[in-house]
Amino acid sequence: MTNAVTIRRADTIGDIDPQLMCALGGRSAASSTPSDLHDAAISRESTLILIADSDSKPAGILVSVQVPKLDRRRGFLFVDELQILPAFRRRGIARALVHRAQEIAKEKGLSGIRLLVRPRNGAARNLYRALGFSAAKTFLCQWLIGDENDPNYNCGS
């Protein structure tokens, strides 16, 4: 565990450190211009972006969204991204971010949290199990726009 981990909510694109933006696979915040559209998406009640700082340095980010239900079901918080900067891994940062998301899901009266994890990502699977998640058999279907192999798709890496 790290000594001083704080979790804060990002309310604007400017709240997200360029290193964290890059870790999410986006272009560096320094090379992209924040827009009112970004801020409008982030500030929605259904969007939850949590940032972990360790000793006042950005360490990790969790990006999630609550998809509204059209009936009386309470719905889930869907975690789309959980990224920890390499220098801060294996220090409890991911655990702190997910735990805070769990608290927020409870506060909102949701049914729980859902997320996807790759089968080969044993560390993440172990983390989620330790935090009370259970595996559900499902199929991931996706439709992609763009080329993930394009070096400009994500910070040139």
Own/partner contacts of 71-75, CB < 8 Å, gap of 24 or more, are 73/111, 74/109, 74/110, 74/111, 75/110, 75/111
Rounded Cα gap, residues 38 and 21, in angstroms: 13
Tokens of 76: 């889930």
Out of 6-20, 23-37, 53-67, least confident range: 23-37
Whether 141 is in a domain gets the answer no
Residues 6+ apart with CB under 8 A from 21: 27, 28, 29, 32
Going by pLDDT thresholds of 50, 70 and 90, the confidence category of residue 136 is: confident
* CATH number of residue 59's parent domain: 3.40.630.30
Going by pLDDT thresholds of 50, 70 and 90, the confidence category of residue 122 is: very high
Going by pLDDT thresholds of 50, 70 and 90, the confidence category of residue 157 is: very low
Tell me: the pLDDT tens digits for 42-72? 667 788 999 999 998 999 999 999 987 788 8
Whether 142 is in a domain gets the answer no
Which residue carries 């979790």 as its tokens?
A: 7
Going by pLDDT thresholds of 50, 70 and 90, the confidence category of residue 2 is: very low
pTM of the entire structure?
A: 0.80
Tell me: the pLDDT tens digits for 138-149? 877 877 777 666
Whether 156 is in a domain gets the answer no
Whether 32 is in a domain gets the answer yes
Whether 155 is in a domain gets the answer no
- Based on the structure, what is the number of domains in the chain? 1
Whether 150 is in a domain gets the answer no
Whether 153 is in a domain gets the answer no
Tell me which DSSP letter residue 67 carries.
P
Looking at residue 97, what is its pLDDT?
A: 97
Residue 107 domain boundaries: 5-130
Dihedrals phi, psi of 21, to nearest 5 degrees: -60, -45
Whether 102 is in a domain gets the answer yes
